[in-house]
Amino acid sequence: MAEFVSLEVAEDIGTIRITRPPVNALNLQSHAELRTAARAASENADVAAVIVYGGEKVFAAGDDIKELAELDPAQVASMAADLQAALGCIATIPKPTVAAISNYALGGGLEVALGADRRIVGDNVKLGLPEILLGVIPGGGGTQRLARLIGPSNAKDLIFTGRFVDADEALLIGLVDQVVAPDEVYNAARTWAEQFVGGPARALAAAKVSIDVGLAGDLVTGLELEQRQFAALFETADAAIGLRSFLDNGPGKAKFTGE
């Protein structure tokens, strides 16, 4: 039974909930439970989309520094790949994902959120990767995902200085996608996720992998990936349903099965 990270499913929306009071600091056990929850959300056919949420008080205020300080260099070297995989596990979910962020998402907490397809925040948030202030750098994918999201110059500014950004600046630089009142964060995330309930699950997964994997390489390789994904979808039941529904009833009325 998970202690700090759970997956709750309601009306075809999965919520990965981080609960480790007082500030949801992510320890090694949390890392393992995050990976388990992400895997469960990926494999559960009843989950159409996923929300990552830390509750009303805080999303996650980084890794457990006390625990990290007790590790020696050899231990850190041996666990670095697991750390990166854990904090980046939301990116492996082949479904639409959204991080619902209240108050603080710092360090490893922000790295978890960077793995989501979309980030919705309260207007009171503080976001940052302050690892440089500890004499280290982000190790959970932050240097790579942040630079790809907001560009290398903005990413270097945030990582080099370790400073926090508020909601307005985060929206301006593209770090977040929507700002709402603090008590509306989860509801706004759920409204976004609900669009995909009853949607063409395999086409959504194909679109996601085409974008994410395509951006990791050059344009020619990305276009080749898109070709393969596009062609493969014509073997699915949803494509047959969608095409026939368009011809019979016009756009936007298909009843997909996810197959």
Q: What is the pLDDT along the chain (259 residues), one digit of tens a residue?
A: 789 999 999 999 999 999 999 999 999 999 999 999 999 999 999 999 999 999 999 999 988 888 888 888 999 898 899 999 999 999 999 999 999 999 999 999 999 999 999 999 999 999 999 999 999 999 999 999 999 999 999 999 999 999 999 999 999 999 999 999 999 999 999 999 999 999 999 999 999 999 999 998 999 999 999 999 999 999 999 999 999 999 999 888 899 998 8
Residue with tokens 């008590």: 183
Domains of the chain: 5-194 (3.90.226.10), 201-249 (1.10.12)
Q: Which residues does the annotation mark as catalytic?
A: 111, 131
Predicted local confidence at residue 70, as pLDDT: 87
Please give, one letter per residue, the 3-state secondary structure of 57-81: CCCECCECHHHHHCCCHHHHHHHHH
In terms of Cβ atoms closer than 10 Å to its own Cβ (0-12, 13-18, 19+), residue 92 is middle
Question: What is the pLDDT at residue 56?
Answer: 94
pTM of the model: 0.94
Confidence (pLDDT) at 76:
87
Q: What is the pLDDT of residue 62?
A: 86
Helix axes 237-249, 201-215, angle to 10 degrees: 110
Residues 6 or more apart whose Cβ sits within 8 Å of residue 21: none
For residue 79, the model assigns a pLDDT of: 86
Helix (H, G, I), strand (E, B) or coil at 33: helix
Q: What is the pLDDT of residue 72?
A: 87
Give the Cβ contact number of residue 112 at 10 Å. Answer: 33
C-alpha dist (Å) from residue 115 to 22, 227, 254: 23, 25, 30
